[in-house]
Amino acid sequence: MFGLSIKNMRLSQLEVGETGIVKEFTDLEMSVKLMEMGCLPGEQITVSRIAPLGDPIAIHVSGYQLSLRRKEASTIILQ
Amino acid sequence: MDANLKVALVGNPNTGKSTLFNVLTGLNQKIGNFPGVTVDKKTGFCELPDGRRAEIIDLPGTYSLYPKSRDESIVFSVLADKANPLRPDLVVVILDASNLKRNLLLYTQVADLKLPVIVALNMMDLAKKSGITIDVNAFAQKLGVPVVPISARKIEGIDQIKSVINHANKVALQEDTIDVESLAPQLIAQISKEIEVENPYYALQLAHQHETLKFLSSTQSDRIEELEQEFSFHSQKAQATETIARYNFINDLLYDTVKKKETAHEENISNKIDKVLTHRVFGFVIFFAILLFIFQSIFAWSAYPMELIGDFFVWAQTTLHHILPAGPLVSLLVDGVLGGLSGVMVFIPQIAILFGFISILEDTGYMSRVTFMMDRLMRKVGLNGKSVVPLIGGFACAVPSIMSTRTIENWKDRMITIMVTPLVTCSARLPIYTLLIALVVPNRNIWWIFNLQGLVLTGMYLFSLVSAITVAFVMKFLLKSRERGYFIMELPVYRMPRWKNVGQDMYNRAKAFVLQAGKVIVAVSVILWVLASYGPGNRFERIEQKYKQAQYTQHMSADDIHHAVASEKLENSYAGVLGHTIEPVIKPIGFDWKIGIALITSFAAREVFVGTMATIYSVDGDAEKIESVQQKMHTAKNPDGQPVFNLAVAFSLMMFYAFAMQCASTVAVVYRETKNWRWPASQFAYMTGLAYIVSFITYHLLR
C-alpha cells in the first residue's frame, strides 16, 4: 500500500537495521567505484550503523562492511 | 642481489597481502620508492625449493585496475609496462576466501592481461567459520590457474605456495573471463595496431588510463585520445559495462564452485565491538583516551632512549677528540658529522613508538573506525578522519607524525595534513616557550588556581591547534585535486594485531627514516656547524690573541675567558655575520642580531635556540642550566639601556617559533613523504611568511 512512496527510495534514506536491494545509480562515475566494491544492482544492502555525527554511514553488503558518506549513499536507488 | 624470477603480489586491501609478503621474505626486505607516487615500494627475496631466488614485490592493495588514487595507478603500470624494470614474470593474486565475489573482480582484470598468474586463497579458516565451502579443485579448473589455499597469519600453505611459484609456467594459461573485445571492438583493434600491443585488455586499459600513464609518449596519448573521439568511446560507461560483465562471470563461477550455508544472520563479534567503539559517546571517549595514551607514550617512553642516544654521541665525541689529533678535519668529522648523526638517531625512539601504535591501530581495523567517526568533523576543514593521529602526534614531534600520514589514502587530504602538522606545538618548542614565558610573564596565580605562566603555555598549545586547522581550511580551497573526493571505504572485521608485523613495521620505518631523511639532516647540520664554527678572514685568531693579553688573563678567570671567547667567536662566525646581515629584516619584528644568530643556528632544530642564547650571553656552565640563561637574558640591555627581552619581543619571538619551519628534519621528512621538493619549499615559504606577519603584528600590538 506504500508502493508509490517506497519507489525510488535512496540508500541514504534508510535507518539503521533497514534493508534494501540496489536497483540503479544516479552517478555514473560513482557507480563504477561502488560496483567495484561489491554494491551491484540486485545486491542486498543493510544499514549497520551511522557515525556518531550522523555522517558517514556503514552498510553491510555482499558479506562485508562498507562505509560511505550520505551524499554518496544518495546516488544508490533501491528497489 | 640478482633474482631468477620476479613475482608480484596483487590483491584487495585487507586480504593479508602484506602478511604473505612478510612470511615469504622475512627480514630480507627493502623499502624503496616508486617514481611519482608516495607509496613505498616493498621488495624482498624468497628462496625457492629448487634453490633459485625469487624477488617478491608487494604492490599497493587495490579493488580494481582502474585507480582511485595515484598510488593505486602504480599497479597497472608495473603489471603492464613491458619496459618497467619491476614487471613481474609471475603474479600472485591473493583472494580473501570469505569475500570471494568482490576479490575476484581484480583477479579477472589481472588474468585478462595474460601474465602468468597463480591464486592464493587466504583466510580459508574465516570462510569455513562463516559456512562457506569452496571446491578448490573445481575452482582452479574453471580459472585454469593453480589455486593454493593458505593462511598467511597462521603460516599455513606457505611451502605449497613456494613450490607452486617454483613450478609456475612462463606462459599464461588462464581461461578468458569476459569477451574484452566486445566492449570496444574498433577502438581496441586500432590501438593494438598502432601502439603495437598484443593483448586486447591491455589496449582497452590504455584507452581508459592513457592520460595518467607515464610510460606512454605524449604523441601516443594524443593519438589514443583522437581514436576515442573517432569511435565515441565513453570511459565511465565502458567501465560500468565491463564491471557488470565481470560480475556475471564471477557469479557463474561461484555458483558452480562455492556453497554457502544459509545461517541465521547472527551478530558477529566485530559488530558487537563496533557498537561500543563507534558509540556516540563512548566512541569518542575511547578514541581520545587512546590518542592521549599514544601522545603520552611518545613523550614518556621515548625520553629515556633519547637520552641514551644523546649521551652515547656525547661520549663518542669526547672520546674521539681525546684519541684523534686536533685539526679541522677531525673537528668536522667529530663535531659536524657525528653531531648531525646524533640529531638523526635521536628521532628513532619516537618514530618506532608512534609506528608501533599506528601499526596496531591499522592491523586491528580500528583506524578505519577512526576515519568513520571523525570524517564529518575533519572534512569541514579540508582534512581527513585519519588526520587526527598525525595532528595529535605533532604535539610530540612532527617528524614521525608526517611519516604517519601515509595511512591517508586521499592525496589532497594527505598533502594538507602534511602541510599543517608542523604548526602544532612540538616538544622542541617547549624549552623556548618556557624560557621566554619565564622571562616576561609574572609567576603568579590568577583566579586563585590558575598559574599565569601555565595559562600562557596552554594558550600557545591551543593556539597552535587552531592555527593548524585554520591553515588547513584555507588550503582546502587553494589545493587543486584531480582526484574526486571519495570516501567509500571498507570497514574490515576486527582482528588481533600481528605482533611480528608490528615489530617489522617499527624497524622498517626507523630504517627508512635514517637512510632517506637522515642524509638531508646530516648535510644541513654539517653546513650549520661550519657556519657557526668558522669565520671570515682571521677574525678567530684575533679573538684568541686578544684574550691572551694580560688585561684579560689577570682580571678574568679561565672559565670566563673561555665563555667570552666562545661568545665573541660566534658573533664573528659566518652565522654571526649572517645574523648581522639579516638584522634590518628582523628589526621590524623586534629582533636584534643576537636573536638573528639564534634563528640561523636553530634552523636545524628549534631547541638549539636556548644553547645559542647561552653561548651569546656567555653563560656559565652548559646550556642545560636554563635558569642562568634566563638570568643573563633578563639583564641584557639594548644600547639605549632598555631591556632586550621585553614583553613585545618575547611574544613576537614565541609567535615566530610557533609558525616558522625551524626544523631541518621536518623539511627532510616532508621531502621523503611527498617525493617532490616543491612541497617542503612551499611549506617553508608559507610558514616563514606567516611567522613574520604574526610576529610583526604581535610586536607592534604589545609595544
Confidence band, pLDDT 50/70/90 cuts, at residue B620: low
Question: What are the helix and strand counts (H, E) for chain A?
Answer: 3, 5
Query: What percentage of chain B exceeds 90 in pLDDT?
Result: 34
Taking an 8 Å cut-off on Cβ atoms, the answer to whether B491 and A54 are in contact is: no
Confidence band, pLDDT 50/70/90 cuts, at residue A1: very low
- Checking if the pLDDT of B619 tops 70, the result is no
pLDDT for B638 equals 78
User: Taking a C-beta distance cutoff of 8 angstroms, is the pair B121, B150 a contact?
Assistant: yes
Residue-averaged pLDDT of chain B: 87
Q: How far apart are CA B163 and CA B144, in angstroms?
A: 18
Query: Domains of chain B, with CATH numbers?
Result: 5-166 (3.40.50.300), 282-432+476-496 (no CATH), 507-702 (no CATH)
User: Taking a C-beta distance cutoff of 8 angstroms, is the pair B202, B80 a contact?
Assistant: yes
Question: Phi and psi (nearest 5°) for B395?
Answer: -65, -25
Closest chain B CA to residue A40: B244
Distance from the Cα of A36 to chain B's closest Cα (Å) equals 6
Cell of B476: 582546502
Q: List pLDDT tens digits, range B495-525.
A: 889 888 889 888 888 887 888 778 878 888 8
Taking an 8 Å cut-off on Cβ atoms, the answer to whether B240 and A69 are in contact is: no
pLDDT for B57 equals 93
Other C-beta atoms within 10 Å of A70: how many?
18
User: Taking a C-beta distance cutoff of 8 angstroms, is the pair B191, B53 a contact?
Assistant: no
Taking an 8 Å cut-off on Cβ atoms, the answer to whether A55 and B376 are in contact is: yes
- Checking if the pLDDT of A45 tops 90, the result is yes
ipTM summary value: 0.91
Distance from the Cα of B278 to chain A's closest Cα (Å) equals 7
- Checking if the pLDDT of B389 tops 90, the result is no
Q: List pLDDT tens digits, range B657-671.
A: 999 999 988 999 999
* Locus of grid cell 631591556: B643
Residue-averaged pLDDT of chain A: 87
pLDDT for A6 equals 53
Nearest neighbour of B240 by CB, restricted to A32, A55, A66: A32
User: Taking a C-beta distance cutoff of 8 angstroms, is the pair A75, B487 a contact?
Assistant: no
Confidence band, pLDDT 50/70/90 cuts, at residue B685: very high
Confidence band, pLDDT 50/70/90 cuts, at residue B382: confident
pLDDT for A3 equals 45
Nearest to B83 by CA among B163, B165, B197: B197
Nearest neighbour of B98 by CB, restricted to A29, A54, A63: A63
DSSP-derived letter for residue B34 is -
pLDDT for B534 equals 87
Closest chain A CA to residue B68: A33
- Checking if the pLDDT of A4 tops 80, the result is no
Confidence band, pLDDT 50/70/90 cuts, at residue B484: low
Q: Where is pLDDT greater, at B423 or B522? A: B423
Taking an 8 Å cut-off on Cβ atoms, the answer to whether B99 and A63 are in contact is: yes
Query: Domains of chain A, with CATH numbers?
Result: 3-78 (2.30.30.90)
The arrangement of strands across the sheet holding B40-47 comes to B29-33, B40-47, B53-58, B5-11, B90-96, B117-122, B147-149
Query: Residues B475-480: what's their mean pLDDT?
Result: 88
Q: List pLDDT tens digits, range B54-100.
A: 999 999 889 999 987 777 888 998 998 878 888 899 999 999 998 89
Query: Residues B535-555: what's their mean pLDDT?
Result: 83
